[in-house]
Amino acid sequence: MVDHLKNGSSNASNVSRRDLMRRTAAAGLALGAATFSGTQTVVQAAGLSKPQRKPIYKSLKFGMIKGNMSILDKFKLVQDIGYDGVELNSPGGENKPECLEASQKTGLPIHGVVDSRHWSVRATESDPKRREECLNDLIIAIKESHFCGGSSALFVPGHAKDGRESEIIPRSIEVIQKALPTAAKLGIRILIENVWNQMFYDHDGKPEQSAERYAAFIDACNSPWVGAYYDIGNHHKYGQPQDWIRTLGKRIVKVDVKGYSRDKNNWSAIGDGTINWPAVRDALDEIGFTGWCTAEVGGGDRERLTDILDRLNRVLPN
């Protein structure tokens, strides 16, 4: 359905970890601090105790909807439960024309897609042909998101197993930069998710790490079409989500939601575990976040999906 884009050459800076941190992390932290400070000033001047709360729209990954139903019936089900939208997989995944038709018939938006192959074909691999394949996958995801009326393509930028940070960061940035003309033309944001890929954090490090390296990577992409798809539960093992949210600030465009328990060192149901959800909601208020949050947990039938939405509404109330 979607043709591959012919890719021209693009030069990514040979950014070492030291250079990356020096040139972008400080600027990113300054921006985040300025945003936070500015918010506090406005709040104090207005005599309010908290920043104005803005709406967060509740979504789920389409693959979480289980049962022998047509695509249209799945859209009707989650709409009836009360979800505000859905997110698809690409390349592959759900039949995009059928999903678009179902979205149009129900009025339930498709807010974006997840690049479904970024784990298996990575932007950080040493083989240029594999990186080119990853680029083609990302471009398809961008085009399919646009086709379905979405606004973003979630992208995992690679894995540290592919080399030293001084090697993998430039490779990843180069792939993203080559996709930017298509993203800009179609108005689709490339959103970098924080995952357990051993990039931007120390897997064996201290439990209270920061989002500085994550923010620095986004800044190094140097484009308004690149932002953060911040997963609230993914790095609670390594840091506090509310702190990461404040550091990332306006870089955050969308959020994924799952629970995590430090006590059990494992995932938990949304709202259970050790994440301080009131602090997370306050931090999102402070950065002025509004937009999509998407549950990324095990799915199921109506009862299960209803419970997930109830939990989303409890932890991220409007």
Q: Where residue 158 sits, what CATH number does that domain have?
A: 3.20.20.150
3-state secondary structure of 19: helix
Per DSSP bridges, beta strands 226-231 and 189-193 are parallel
Whether residue 59 is contained in a domain is answered as: yes
Q: Is residue 71 part of a domain?
A: yes
pTM value is 0.85
pLDDT value of position 48: 55
In a domain, residue 24? The reply is yes
Q: How many domains does the chain have?
A: 1
Q: Which amino acid is at 209?
A: Q
Is 224 domain-assigned?
A: yes
165 residue type, one letter: E
Residue 216 lies in a domain: yes
Range of the domain at 73: 17-315
pLDDT digits (tens, 9 = 90+) for 12-67: 444 444 444 444 433 333 334 334 444 444 444 445 567 899 999 999 999 999 99
| Structural domain contains residue 56 | yes
Token code pair at residue 63: 């693959």
What pLDDT shows up at residue 50? 77
Alpha-carbon separation of residue 45 from 41, 48, 51, 145, 246 (angstroms): 6, 8, 11, 41, 21
Report pLDDT digits (tens) over 141-196.
Answer: 999 999 999 999 999 999 999 999 999 999 999 999 999 999 999 999 999 999 99
| Domain assignment present for 6 | no
Taking the C-alpha atoms of residue 122 and residue 118, their distance in angstroms, rounded to an integer, is 5
CA atoms within a 13 Å half-sphere pointing along the CA-CB vector of 61: 20
Determine the pLDDT at residue 157: 98
Establish if 142 belongs to a structural domain: yes
pLDDT band at 132 (very low <50, low <70, confident <90, very high): very high
Q: What is the pLDDT of residues 73-126, one digit of tens each?
A: 999 999 999 999 999 999 999 999 999 999 999 999 999 999 999 999 999 999
